[in-house]
Amino acid sequence: MAYRKLDSNLPKILLSHLRENTDKDGYTIFSSSAFALDHGISHETTARLVRDLQEAGKLEYTRMGNKGLLVHMIPKKPDPRKCPKCGEIAHDDQSRFCYRCGSSLLSWDEQLKIKIDSLMPRIYREINDSKLSSELSEVMSILMKKVFKEEI
């Protein structure tokens, strides 16, 4: 009996199928029989593909649910930042400057937030009036909430 060669893209197809059906909490219900029929493979091959994805760290766990296999997806890490000038990819997502050309990798909002955070202690040191200092603090907290939509 001759075995046919499996498509090398099946793990990617399975992973993209799982990701597109994932809810906001990272869960998806997967019917291995429907996937096996769609791609002309056996249930054992589908189970092996799911186990391989789980061992590779793409899935956190799988268990049987009411409507099929309940899969919890591990969230994808965001792509590292790309330099707007030279196109070089940053070493990690925390990099502020391009290691090749030195240009900033931060968005305008991130740059503004860093400038405000570094400027505020200087302003508080220069203001001798405590009442004026507290008013400035209130204004800055309102500004930060409006601009960045978050608490200080």
pLDDT value, residue 2: 45
Structural domain boundaries of the chain?
10-73, 78-104, 108-148
Q: Tell me the CATH number for domain 10-73.
A: 1.10.10.10
pLDDT(1) > 50: no
Question: Considering the chain, what is the average pLDDT of its residues?
Answer: 78
User: Rounded mean pLDDT of 141-147?
Assistant: 78
pTM: 0.45
Greater model confidence, 72 or 85: 85
Torsion of CA 9, 10, 12, 18, to 10 degrees: 160
Q: Are 95 and 105 in contact (CB under 8 A)?
A: yes
Greater model confidence, 80 or 126: 126
Give SS3 for 2: coil
In a 13 Å sphere around the CA of 136, the CA atoms on its Cβ side amount to 16
